[in-house]
């Protein structure tokens, strides 16, 4: 399936970006970071004393366990073996960073368990042998999934509605110098039309339904992965929903049950 790629002729905002709450289409701020990325393999690691979490073996052990669960997308597993999850969680929780569990990141939000992240990224890629084009992430959180997406996509736009988490993600990602990641502070419900069309859209919060704006901003040939309410099937539960935008129309596929924080509008 042919994937859309970013247009070199269209000016893209730098990193980070702030959306004006009164005018979400306002011109983004100028880049606040160096534009040239430093290869992950060449970065000097800061040792977290006493826990050995900087060891590549620790990450590979997590990757092995994910593969044993049947999560087999090689590109996603490789990315998860490179991005250090413990750098995105609070210091008091670093010893649990590579366990397959969600962890609190403040403001009532969580970093999703590695198994769920791996599954959703695999669904988003739908077996593509190449990097995806431009992707929109709804709910930056602490920035972990945005870092993974930076290795899997040509360009990443990530929106966070909570100022505290937007700032946390910015601080977490700054040392990685990921020039293809654009952080936006604003309401994710309307998506981000200035970056559309997107080869993929992925959400880290679940609502009653997928906002129409997201589907409108998805490119033909693109895929959207988001948790949604199971509705009448199972009250109070959520399922993963995959939406493919084809030349013939929209195709929806309901996947397994999940649990995500609720999707909300507005900023705070």
> Which domains does the chain show, CATH number per domain?
17-21+102-258 (3.40.50.150)
Known active-site residue 55: no
Q: For the beta carbon of residue 163, count every other beta carbon within 10 angstroms.
A: 13
Q: What angle do CA 176, 160, 106 make, to 5 degrees?
A: 85
94 Cβ neighbours under 8 A, 6+ residues apart? 48, 51, 53, 86
Catalytic residue among 112, 150, 158, 229: 112
CA distance 134 to 152: 10
Per-residue pLDDT of the chain (268 residues; tens, 9 = 90+): 445 444 444 444 444 444 444 444 333 433 333 333 334 544 444 344 334 787 899 999 999 999 999 999 999 999 999 999 999 999 999 999 999 999 999 999 999 999 999 999 999 999 899 999 999 999 999 999 999 999 999 999 999 999 999 999 999 999 999 999 999 999 999 999 999 999 999 999 999 999 999 999 999 999 999 999 987 455 568 999 999 999 999 999 999 999 999 999 999 9
Rg for the chain (alpha carbons), in Å?
Answer: 17
CA distances from 37 to 23, 44, 177, 225 (A): 30, 14, 5, 28
Angle between helices 114-125 and 74-82 (to 10 degrees): 140
Strand order in the sheet with 218-229: 17-18, 181-185, 153-160, 132-138, 198-203, 218-229, 238-246, 249-258
Helix, strand or coil, per DSSP, at residue 14: coil
Question: Rounded to 5 degrees, what angle do the CA atoms 58, 90, 81 make?
Answer: 25
The pLDDT value given to residue 234: 57
Q: What is the pTM of this model?
A: 0.82
């Amino acid at each position: 399936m042919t994937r859309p790629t970013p247009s070199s002729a269209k000016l893209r905002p730098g990193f980070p970006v702030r959306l004006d709450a009164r005018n979400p289409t306002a011109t983004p701020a100028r880049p606040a970071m160096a534009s040239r990325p430093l290869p992950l393999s060449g970065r000097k690691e800061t040792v977290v004393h006493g826990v050995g979490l900087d060891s590549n073996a620790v990450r590979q052990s997590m990757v092995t366990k994910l593969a044993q669960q049947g999560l087999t997308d090689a590109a996603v597993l490789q990315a998860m073996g490179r991005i250090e999850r413990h750098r995105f969680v609070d210091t008091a929780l670093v010893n649990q960073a590579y366990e397959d569990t969600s962890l609190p990141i403040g403001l009532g939000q969580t970093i999703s368990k590695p198994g769920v992240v791996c599954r959703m990224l695999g669904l988003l890629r739908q077996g593509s042998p190449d990097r995806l084009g431009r992707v929109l992430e709804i709910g930056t959180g602490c920035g972990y999934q945005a870092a993974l997406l930076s290795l899997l996509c040509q360009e990443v736009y990530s929106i966070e509605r909570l100022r505290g988490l937007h700032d946390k993600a910015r601080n977490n990602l700054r040392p990685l110098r990921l020039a293809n990641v654009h952080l936006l502070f604003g309401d994710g419900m309307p998506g981000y039309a200035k970056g559309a069309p997107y080869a993929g859209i992925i959400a880290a919060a679940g609502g009653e339904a997928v906002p129409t704006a997201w589907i409108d901003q998805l490119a033909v040939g693109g895929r959207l992965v988001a948790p949604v309410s199971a509705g009448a099937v199972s009250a109070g539960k959520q399922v993963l929903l995959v939406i493919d935008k084809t030349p013939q129309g929209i195709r929806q596929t309901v996947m397994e049950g999940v649990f995500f924080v609720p999707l909300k509008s507005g900023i705070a």
